[in-house]
Structure formats: structure tokens, C-alpha cells
Structure 1
């Protein structure tokens, strides 16, 4: 599954059928019709590899239509491919691989995000688009100022002023939307009790992840986002460096970067961890990655328990694999 297309494989009565469709609303509708035309019961597991928004849109449409959906972390698919000694790496081969995985694996039913979360995500995406546009215009203005193209510079400044106004309006809409939804407001307040998590970060996390209680553990949530450690080692060496797996929800992971930077200077739990990791020789980048992972555990802890953050109360499992 990619930004532009869906590679599909259906296995029924030991027969395999493949199809390629556009990853658009029209393509999603055609997929749902194609599945119905094959006389498949809606309890048939429809398994998608998690690719962030590319998979979530089609998964939501199929779930709303009543199909049994499972959205699987790419790490599980990769592990299954290795167990099969699979060598072919094409979109069609991957679709067949996922179909075989669906027949053998223990699957968890995926639930689409609530309407309130979907609306929040649309607002958060709009805010990010406006912020990105503003940065582009600021970069353009710097280049124009150096070239002294006055008339164009005035137009760019006017556009930046408009963008600033729109950013303020959308941020206000996000705040109102969260305040108007008791569940979102409750979860946002719990997250914002964690030093390092502010209003924007909590809104992004709620928009991209929804209810974290659907994950069986903080470790499962961290794997979904892609902030679990990945060990690199070669030959007989056991001292390879670790890094973030990055096999997960890209937008959620990006949303954690600045909070991770802030938390390692202002969150007492993460400050202590960062100091230990620095003494062990980890790079600043690796420490930020570990801070992001720790934040995921803290977020899961406060939301699962329903209690605000307290530095003096340790959370079970929080120290596991803290280094990245």
C-alpha cells in the first residue's frame, strides 16, 4: 500500500486473486465493491500493513462498511517474510505475503477512530499544512530580501500575515473542539500534566493515535509509533549501535520529536534517564530518541491509569530498553 495505489490479494478456497487499484476515495469504493462481488463474508479478515494515513483512510472506509479489519505493524510482516525465507520484493509479492500472513497469524480487530478524533485529525493536518506554508514563505522572503525585489516581498509579507491569522484561527478551533469533547479534554489534560507535552503535542497525539487504551501495553504503542530500539550489529560484534526502528506511524513520531527535546531538559524522570544514557556514551540524537520512547510510556501510563503525571510514582516497565 502506497500513496498512489493499493495492491490487493484475496485468498479464497485455496485460490489467489490479485488486483491493483488507486489509493483514492473512488479506488476505496471500488475495492469494497470488488470484495462483495467475490461473495466473501464480512467476517473475512481484511489485513492491511500500517502505513499511516495511506492505510488508515481505506481501513476506516472498510470498517465503516462492516468489514473485519486488522492493521498490522510492518515489523510483524517483515518477521513473517523472514520466517518464510521470502526473497521476492515487489508490490504484488508483498500483497500475497500479507494474505498468507492473514491466514496464519493471530489478528486483532481494528476499530476506526471516533468521529471526534477524525475531525480533530483534519484540523491538526490543516494546522500543520499552514505552518509548513508559512515556513516556505519565510524562506522565500529571506531570499527575496537579499535580492531586493520589493514588490514581490510585499506580497509574500501579506501572505505571511494571512497565514499567521489562519494558524491562530485553526489553533483556536482545535482548542474549542477538544474542550467541547469530554473524552478528548480528559485525555488532553492528563497528557499535558507530563512535563514536555504541551497543547499542540497533545492535540497531535490524540489526532494520530486516538484512544491509546486499545493497545495492550506501552511497548505495543511504542512499536506502533516506531520508537522502539533497533539493534545494529555486524558479524560477531555485540556492540552495535541502536537506533529508532522508524517502522510505524510517521506523523505521530514527528509529533514526539520536539516534546522529546523539551522533556530531556524539563521532565525530572527523563532528565535522570538522559544523564544515565549520556554517561553510557550515547549520542545526543540517540538520547532524544530514548526520550521520545519514554514519553510514549508516560503517556500510556497516565491515560491507562487515569491519573496525572507524578515524578515520584514509578511506572511498571518504564525502564525496559530505555537506551536507543
Structure 2
């Protein structure tokens, strides 16, 4: 039997502080009348917040398991607060929601002002109305890989900027120094990739998942590592549709009545770096003439779909195949006769 949630606590997190708002499900008060308080974003602040929450629970006679927490995704700030809350009071089952979803929901209140306390109050309403799932924190190893992937990405971007500067260089002394910087950045990138490889290889289950993903055409070592570090375990999605929607590669239809008939586009929700990675992997996959992705791309192009539309569909198929092979535990195989990937999962 699931526990009846009778109150939601919305938390707006920043670097130094966080604002918490307490909303009972039975309450119909105006958003500005919801109790809210500011706390330091550290261990002392978390203890003060839990004491404040306990007093509110006592005043409203809410049972211990009757309160949940919801906060907006703010990178390290929200995940660190999540860890502290789970350590002190795991029954709060904190949820971390998409920032865009939180912003759209907040707009529905038509507030003239924007501040941390109002954001926390709006989040509490979001929790009551949507009942988001508890945040599933990645393993420490996967979190470490994720940080290294981000570091490598930033170094690659920096190297690209130095290369552009090298092209514009007019003096040989300047060019020589820029080349040294590029060589240094390249060495750091290679060292980071080696560390990612070591971390993946030292964990058996993670290494097995990584190898399964690499069996897919167009998916190399770094692509598989990026997908695992950003998306985590794709098996947690109950359906392929949920997986594609989370990745932001599902189609988004826009029509209203008889006058509005806009083209269906990719939703582009979620992590943009993951979509960029899927895009590059899909480009590589359609170059393989003996793959499901090339056959799908050619079929859509022959049906008058643009190259962009066809590639978007391949990106969606790519994430679905990734989820399928992780669920089955079998590497990717393609049958020309059936024109389907094996194994297949819905």
C-alpha cells in the first residue's frame, strides 16, 4: 500500500542558501500565504530545516511519512542537498525536476515578481499536482565518470578555440606558443580519456553495459561513456516512449483547430549534450550500409522526409536500441531478412 502524501515541501536551491515552502494537500490558500523560510545550504542549514519541518508537521498533525520534498535541478547544489536530506531523513524521498518544467509551471501563477521564496512556493504546488518520482542518484563511480566527461568536453572546446586562434595568427612566435598550448590540451584530453577507460573497466556491471552499447553501429567508446554518464541506467524507463521523451528526441506535434498545422519537430527536452552525442552517433551509424539505422534513414528519405527529419528519427531509434540491448543483455545484431534489430524490446 502506498503512503498517502498530505504535504509537499518545495525547495529553491542556490549556492549559499535554500528557501523551503510547506504546502498541505488540504490547503487552498493563495501561493503567497504558504509558509516559507530561508536556510543556509550546508549541514547546519539542513538540520535547521528539518527542525522547522518537524514543527510544521506537529502543528498540522501530518504523519512522519506524509511529507515529500521537491526541488529544481541546479546541478551540484541540488544533488548535494539531496544527499544531505537522504542521510538525515530518507523518508522525504526528494524529487529533482527539470528546470524547464518548473519554469513553465511557475508561469501559470501569473506572478508579477520572481524571487526565491515564490519559486519555492511554486515548487510545492508542482509536487502536489504532479507527484514527481524520487530522484535516483547515480552511483559514486558513475558520478565520477560524469565529472570527467564534462571536464573532457570543456577541454575539447578550449582546444577548438585555440586552433581557431592559431589559424588567425600572423607571427611565428605567437603560433609556436599556441601550438604548445594545443599540444598540452591534447595531452590532458588523452589522460582524461584514459582515466574514464580505467574507471569503467574496474566496475564489472558498468563495463558490461558499456560493451553492449559499443556493439551498436556508430557508438564508440566515448559515445557509450557519455550516454551512461548522462542517462544512467536506461533500464529504469518502463517504456521506450518514456526513454525517448526524457532524452528529448521524441516528436512534438503542434496543431490547434483547423488553422494551426505546424510541422512536427523534435521536442529537444532534457540534456542538450546527450542529443548532440546521439546526433553524431547517428551520423556515423547511417554510413554503415548493413545497419538498421541506414535502412531506416533510406526508407524515410524515399518517403519524402527531409534529411533532418530522417536523422531525427534515427536518433530516437538509437536511444531505443540502447535501452533494448541493456534490457536483454545481448549485443546488437541486425538481420537483413527481417529488417529489425535483434534483440528487440518495446
* TM-score of the two chains, using structure 2 as the length reference: 0.77
In structure 2, how many angstroms separate the alpha carbons of the residues matched to 1:272 and 1:54?
Answer: 44
Note the alpha carbon deviations across 1:20-60, whole angstroms, 9 max, x for none: 78xxxx73657634532313468732213456667545445
Aligned counterparts, 1:232-247, within 5 A? 232-233=254-255, 235-237=257-259, 239-247=261-269
Aligned counterparts, 1:114-125, within 5 A? 114-125=139-150
Aligned counterparts, 1:210-225, within 5 A? 210-225=232-247
Q: Does 1:127 align with 2:152?
A: yes
Q: Does 1:276 align with 2:299?
A: yes
In structure 2, how many angstroms separate the alpha carbons of the residues matched to 1:244 and 1:48?
Answer: 27
Note the alpha carbon deviations across 1:114-149, whole angstroms, 9 max, x for none: 0110111121111112111110110111111xxx22
Report the structure number with the largest CA radius of gyration: 2
In structure 2, how many angstroms separate the alpha carbons of the residues matched to 1:63 and 1:251?
Answer: 28
Aligned counterparts, 1:1-324, within 5 A? 8-13=19-24, 14=27, 16-18=34-36, 27=41, 32-40=46-54, 44-50=67-73, 55-56=78-79, 58-65=81-88, 66=90, 67-73=92-98, 86-88=109-111, 91-92=114-115, 93-144=118-169, 148-233=170-255, 235-237=257-259, 239-266=261-288, 268-312=291-335, 313=342, 315-317=344-346
Note the alpha carbon deviations across 1:164-189, whole angstroms, 9 max, x for none: 11111111111111111111101001
Matched-pair contact (CA < 8 Å) for 1:47–1:71 = yes
Matched-pair contact (CA < 8 Å) for 1:63–1:111 = no
Matched-pair contact (CA < 8 Å) for 1:42–1:68 = no
Matched-pair contact (CA < 8 Å) for 2:156–2:189 = yes
1:213 Cα offset (Å): 2.0
1:278 Cα offset (Å): 1.7
Aligned pair in 2 of structure 1 residues 280, 73: CA closer, same or farther (>3 Å)?
Answer: farther
Matched-pair contact (CA < 8 Å) for 2:14–2:77 = yes
Matched-pair contact (CA < 8 Å) for 1:256–1:292 = yes
Matched-pair contact (CA < 8 Å) for 2:95–2:132 = yes
* Structure 2 residues without counterparts, runs of 5 or longer: 1-11, 28-32, 55-63, 336-341
In structure 2, how many angstroms separate the alpha carbons of the residues matched to 1:207 and 1:107?
Answer: 22
Matched-pair contact (CA < 8 Å) for 1:234–1:240 = no
Note the alpha carbon deviations across 1:183-217, whole angstroms, 9 max, x for none: 11010011011111110000111111222222222
Q: Which residue of 2 aligns with 1:321?
A: none
The Cα RMSD (Å) is 3.1
Query: Matched residue pairs, number?
Result: 308
